Amino acid sequence: MCGIFGCLCEGAPSILLQGLKRLEYRGYDSVGIALINGKDLVVEKNKGKIDEFISGLDEARLKGEIGVGHTRWATHGAPSKENAHPHLDCSKRIAVVHNGVLENFLQIKEELVRRGHTFSSRTDSEVIPHLIEEYMNEGLTLKDALIKSMERVKGSAAIAVISTVEPNKIFCYRRESPLIVGIGDNGVFCASDIPAIMPYTRRVMVVPEDRLVILERGSIHVEDLKGVTYETEFTEITWDLELAEKGGYPHFMIKEIFEQPRAIRDTLKIPTVFLDKAARLMRGRIYLIGSGTSYHACLSTSYTASALIDMEMRPVISSEFADALLSLEDSTVIAVSQSGETADTLNAVKHAKSKGARIVGITNTLGSSITTLSDAYICTQSGPEIGVAATKTFLTQLVALDLLLLRLGLISGKLSEPEHDLITKELSNLPGMVEQILSRSNRVKDLALKYSTKENAFFLGRGANVATALEGALKLKEISYIHAEGYPAGESKHGPISLVEPNFLCVFIAPRDRTRDRIIGNIMEMKARGAEVFSVITEGDKELKEISDEYFEVPISSEILYPILCTVPLQLLAYYAATFRGFDPDKPRNLAKSVTVL
């Protein structure tokens, strides 16, 4: 997620830079600021870290009492000076910083280019200042041009705008992406998150959805796009800075688990043009490669591909890929990596390229090594993930891969347009379903307290649920240090069942899908040996409730969604078990966020 900061106060240049420093924890690849100094708009931006950026600034240029700044996490356009924010219009009178993903920017950009606008970046965000300029050229005020622009663009957007046309105001707007404003003795402020403004005020307001906010000296004005005004309702923040960086949550991991509905919404907005480019490369033998959690996304997707579009895709663990003696001529390799820098996956990609394979990259980090090596890539829209244990990046990998399969199915004729549209509509309901699960997190917390004294556990499933079982076991073992193994439920009688004794924990992933009836026998096998059974089931499944000692229900959905829905309670189980055992889930021992060694 990008970070936005704006201020109207004395000492604005230094306060802007300090505010951006306090947003570093969100992750970023470039930084920039814009200030109004008299009649001039002064812009400085570059790729790299804030300290490096500050060291290269000409302080004599940095004057003024109003400005906006931005830390960028690349989603459209690689990390570079040109793609860094703020972005300007052609006349260089308007500066915009933006956090979000615009769905229809390509169409708008093409239209603006035809009208004579010149673009300097490859970002989606740059259409905003040009669109505002276009409407101002038609005679609208800055405010009305901004309103019309926000009505025109689709997607998530938290923006802050300054202009030499109205040099004493900051215009802000919020849709889906986070934005707060605050007022203090020394000025008014806007930011993506509370830590940025805490040193200057603790009186803050979360900008309501689809609202325009105008900051002026000593005042904050709020209205909707129809011009209806609203009272500003401020909250007094009592958190310390460390807690504020985590949004009031005790750990980044639980914060990121609760960010998953937003991350899924943004990933569902991946432009079709990127999906089409990747899908048209997918022919011949298709391999899915990844490590750890990313491999689980590959395994899950291989089942989905067979069921949804009747295509075989072979999942291979990245570190085993070069030794698997695979035929790679006229093949496609889909490389999945959160960071885009996983050494085992990069090594496998280089091996595949050397044998003539086409590469499709799936990553959360634009400009990473995997995007550079790929013939086509898809960037998931999780935003930075700080907790070492992957949560929101796993779910968005699954969503991105589902979207890719849908496009491939449509292009190949495996799916009709009505079938494609129906499943796409079902995917659009996914964020709300995940929110339903998170609203019952206390139920999982109670179960985690009960199970936190266990020393061993099996996670069992069939079909695509095997991947979910592997992921659930990985989460539990890596942060709570409870020994957990994921296994195909049907294979458990071929060895693992010998470990089961009274009170041995068996977690079954058993939604109402094509595997549901067969897994009942596996549950009964474990219960006959005294196992304690916790099942993740579909809402209203009375039979599985009766044969399970404990259960958690996920919403009724199509089969394609269950790997995502059933993962969420397992993430919560692992998190709460770790905290009850006294461990820091953000910093599991012996692990790193990005494994960059072979």
What number is the average pLDDT over the span 208-219? 94
Q: Is 593 labeled as catalytic in the residue annotation?
A: yes
Tell me if residue 90 is catalytic: no
User: Residue 329 above 90 pLDDT?
Assistant: no
pLDDT tens, residue by residue, 231-247: 888 888 777 777 677 87
Cβ atoms of 172 and 201 closer than 8 Å: no
**Structure confidence at residue 597 as a pLDDT band (50, 70, 90):** very low
Does the structure show a pLDDT above 60 at 202?
A: yes
pLDDT tens readout for residues 523-556: 999 999 999 999 999 999 999 999 999 999 999 9
d(CA 324, CA 347): 13
Does 421 have pLDDT greater than 90?
A: yes
Region 58-65 average pLDDT: 86
Helix (H, G, I), strand (E, B) or coil at 224: strand
Q: What is the pLDDT, as a whole number, of residue 61?
A: 84
Cβ 587 vs Cβ 579: under 8 Å: no
- pLDDT at 478 (0 to 100): 96
Catalytic: which of 21, 450, 527, 593?
593
CA distance 470 to 480: 15
Give the chain's domains with CATH numbers: 3-245 (3.60.20.10), 249-428 (3.40.50.10490), 436-586 (3.40.50.10490)
| Sign of the dihedral defined by the CA atoms of residues 394, 400, 403, 408, in that order | negative
Question: How far is the first Cα of the chain from the last one, in angstroms, to the nearest whole number?
Answer: 29
In the set 2, 9, 190, 298, the catalytic residue is 2
- The structure tokens listed for 573 are 């189980």
Predicted confidence at residue 132, as pLDDT, reads 97
Cβ contact 404:380 at 8 Å: no
Mean pLDDT, the chain, whole residue set: 93
> What is the per-residue pLDDT for 351?
94
Which residues are paired to 456 by β-bridges?
Answer: 483
Instruction: Record the tokens describing residue 462, joined without a space.
Output: 């069939």
> What does the pLDDT read at residue 7?
96
Tally of CB atoms within 10 A around 479: 28
592: confidence class by pLDDT, cuts 50, 70, 90: low
Percent of the chain with pLDDT over 70: 98
pLDDT at 595: 64
State the number of CA atoms in the 13 A half-sphere of 465 facing the CB.
28
- Distance CA(340)–CA(145), nearest Å, equals 39
What are the start-end ranges of the E strands in 462-572?
Answer: 483-488, 505-510, 532-538, 550-554
Q: What is the pLDDT of residues 566-584, one digit of tens each?
A: 999 999 999 999 999 999 9
Indicate the pLDDT class of residue 60, thresholds 50, 70 and 90.
confident
Write the DSSP assignment of 385-410 as a string of letters.
Answer: --SSS-SHHHHHHHHHHHHHHHHHHH
